């Protein structure tokens, strides 16, 4: 996927999910426009998707069929069932400012049975990484994690 522009990690990942996993036609720009049209004066590229945790979760749930992390059986259970996980990690912008960043966990390295490494799409760079282990992810207390079961 192309790297995201500005603070568009969530709509970029949503576009990736729609196109790659649901075989749909909605792009990053569709999700940016959808959000900006519903929130007058918001510039997603500059500020990202803003609002309370509940509002962001409602935005995701309005576009995808989801299960909560616990309903999905955790990372391994969700991936084994063919459901990627849309989640947050702690990140830092170019100036060193701490922020929440959205990624999509798409798999894990099953050869490390005790503590597998997760494969995740990071829209900031437009590529897949595998430098987070399951225990580290679980200890990170993500703001939200959804198992994506399909597109709406």
Do the Cβ atoms of 89 and 101 come closer than 8 Å?
A: yes
Query: What are the phi and psi torsion angles at 146 (to 5°)?
Result: -120, 135
The more confidently predicted of residues 97 and 46 is 46
On average, the pLDDT of the chain sits at 92
- Say if residue 66's pLDDT is above 90: yes
- Taking the whole predicted model, whether its pTM rises above 0.85 is answered as yes
The fraction of the chain above a pLDDT of 70, given in percent, is: 99
Tens digits of residue pLDDT in 118-134: 999 999 999 999 999 99
């Amino acid at each position: 996927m192309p790297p995201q522009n500005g603070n568009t990690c969530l709509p970029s990942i949503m576009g990736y999910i729609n196109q790659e996993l649901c075989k749909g036609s909605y792009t990053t720009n569709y999700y940016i426009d959808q959000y900006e049209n519903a929130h007058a004066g918001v510039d997603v590229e500059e500020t990202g998707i803003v609002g309370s945790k509940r509002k962001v979760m409602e935005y995701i749930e309005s576009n995808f069929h989801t299960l909560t992390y616990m309903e999905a059986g955790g990372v391994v259970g969700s991936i084994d069932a063919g459901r990627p996980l849309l989640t947050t990690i702690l990140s830092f912008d170019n100036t060193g400012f701490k922020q929440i960043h959205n990624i999509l966990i798409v798999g894990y390295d099953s050869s490390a049975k005790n503590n597998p490494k997760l494969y995740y799409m990071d829209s900031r760079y437009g590529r897949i990484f595998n430098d987070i282990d399951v225990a580290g992810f679980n200890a990170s207390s993500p703001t939200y994690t959804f198992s994506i079961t399909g597109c709406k």
